[in-house]
A = this chain, B = another copy of it.
Amino acid sequence: MTEHDAAAPRPAGVSRRRLLGLAGAGTAGVLAAGAAGGLIGRVTAEDASALAPAAPAGPASADAVEFTGPIQAGIVTPAQERLHFVAFDVLTDSRDDLAGMLRTWTAAARRLTAGRGAGPVGAADGAPAAVPDDTGETLGLPASGLTLTIGFGPTLFTTADGRDPFGLASRRPPPLVELPAFDGDEIDPAISGGDLCIQACANDPQVAVHAVRNLIRLGQGVVRVRWTQLGFGRTSSTTTGQETPRNLFGFKDGTNNLKAEAAEALDRFVWVAPGDGVDWMVGGTYLVTRRIRMLLEAFDETPLGEQEAVIGRAKGSGAPLGRRAEFDPVDLTAQADGRPAIPETSHVFLSHPNTAGTAILRRGYSFVDGTDGEGRLDAGLFFIAFQRDPATGFVQVQRKLRTDAMNEYIRHTSSAVFACPPGVQGDDDWWGRTLFEG
């Protein structure tokens, strides 16, 4: 860790020192012994216990989250309340222009995540004849936990028409391939894919929107927006303290997600390690996004018992069916009235690490995007997953979900995959340096 790190705001909810301490010193040690083979195999009981809950430790809602570090913020950072996700198409064939923009973006991201403007002068302090270097809508607002996380899509390495304008084709990570089609997909290409992405998360939507909008502005001529998604997630307070947020089906969602504190499981399932064969991605991870429309009207007409059988948990407590409390261990073998307590077609059964044989770090946000033109809300979950390899992460889980009873009530409408490089370290580092210069 550098002096700069010591003086900077503490990472939210997870001591990055501790996280890396558990895994060894620096990125060279990110790979824990448990996953040394590089292949993700059968999940052990110990792994399952690593998925157990830890005390929630979210940041104060206004605080800054440190931007620099060996891993990017916004991955294991406890989920902020709001999301603005944006995917870009690159307009230029110039490697220098692209790298230049990434340097500019990095400088802006350092400032924005610290609660400052996108440029050194600011929105209101420049000369009257000059165009301001920030758009101003966060003047007076705190950093609000803003994180900015970058990803590179497969088409950045080889364009859709097979060209290699940036000389990056040979550096494409083998795991970074377009996702396969799945049963029931209703993917709209216009809101899928992208050469680059930025995930902006903050506890204030104005702060997340401001960051994305200023990065768009700074990228003018080099990139253009392909698609964006707004979302809302963790709610700031509950009557009973910090709780697992509920999705738009009304069920707690994320109870057994990988936790930032579970360093071994993260090293096994999330972070790219030296043995994985892509040096510039060590300390990085792969990001899968799926816009999952939820057919709320159909689910709302379903009896409570059937809803719970679809999910595999009690609606009120969030307890696994057959158990009493939300964080009671999921026992897939438990019986009730001579049948499995947790039905074998339930979402909890099929997505459980012991069934799927793998685990992913999820970071979903609910969305409502107006209506579908048929008098129904176009609403659902913008699903975000981080994993060490999409093939053994999201793709493996999603194939297992082929018989998921929930499929009747959801439609996947957009899809994308990105390689998220390691974090920016030190004052001269920039987003993509390990890719372009490594």
Contacts and interface: CB of A to CB of B under 8 A. Distances in A.
Interface of A: 61-62, 84, 89, 115, 123-132, 134-142, 190-191, 204-207, 209, 213, 216-217, 220, 224-230, 232, 235-240, 243, 245-251, 296-297, 300-308, 314-317, 366, 368-371, 373, 375-377, 379
A142 B235 CA distance: 10
Contact of A132 (B61, B204, B230, B307): B307
A370 B227 contact: yes
Contact of A225 (B209, B246, B306, B375): B375
* Interface class of chain A by DSSP: loop
Contacts of A225: 371, 375-377
A139 B235 contact: no
Contact of A305 (B129, B191, B308): B129
A376 B314 CA distance: 43
Q: Which of A129, A230, A306 has the most CB of B within 10 A?
A: A230
Q: Which of A240, A301, A375 has the most CB of B within 10 A?
A: A375
A43 to B, nearest CB: 30
Contacts of A370: 191, 227-230, 369
Given A84-B368, A230-B368, 4 more contacts: A124-B314, A135-B249, A137-B250, A230-B370
A228 B367 CA distance: 13
B136 A249 contact: yes
B315 A124 contact: yes
Contacts of A128: 303-306, 308
A308 B127 CA distance: 12
B315 A209 contact: no
Contact of A371 (B227, B249, B301, B306): B227
A250 B315 CA distance: 42
A295 B17 CA distance: 44
A236 B368 contact: no
26 contacts: A62-B239, A115-B239, A123-B316, A124-B304, A124-B314, A124-B316, A129-B305, A131-B303, A132-B315, A135-B248, A135-B249, A136-B246, A136-B250, A136-B251, A137-B250, A139-B246, A141-B235, A141-B238, A142-B239, A204-B235, A206-B232, A213-B379, A227-B371, A229-B370, A230-B230, A369-B369
Contacts of A129: 303-305
A296 B206 contact: no
Contacts of A248: 135, 137, 209, 213
Contacts of A209: 232, 248, 366, 368, 379
Contacts of A139: 246, 250, 315-316
A191 B245 CA distance: 31
A325 to B, nearest CB: 14
A351 B247 CA distance: 42
A125 B205 CA distance: 34
B304 A239 contact: no
A255 B117 CA distance: 23
B132 A62 contact: no
Contact of A296 (B89, B115, B213, B228): B213
Q: Which of A115, A190, A228, A379 has the most CB of B within 10 A?
A: A228
Nearest to A227: B371
Nearest to A301: B131
A125 B314 CA distance: 10
Nearest to A224: B375
A314 B400 CA distance: 58
Contact of A300 (B204, B217, B316): B217
A209 B380 CA distance: 11
A238 B140 contact: yes
Contacts of A314: 124
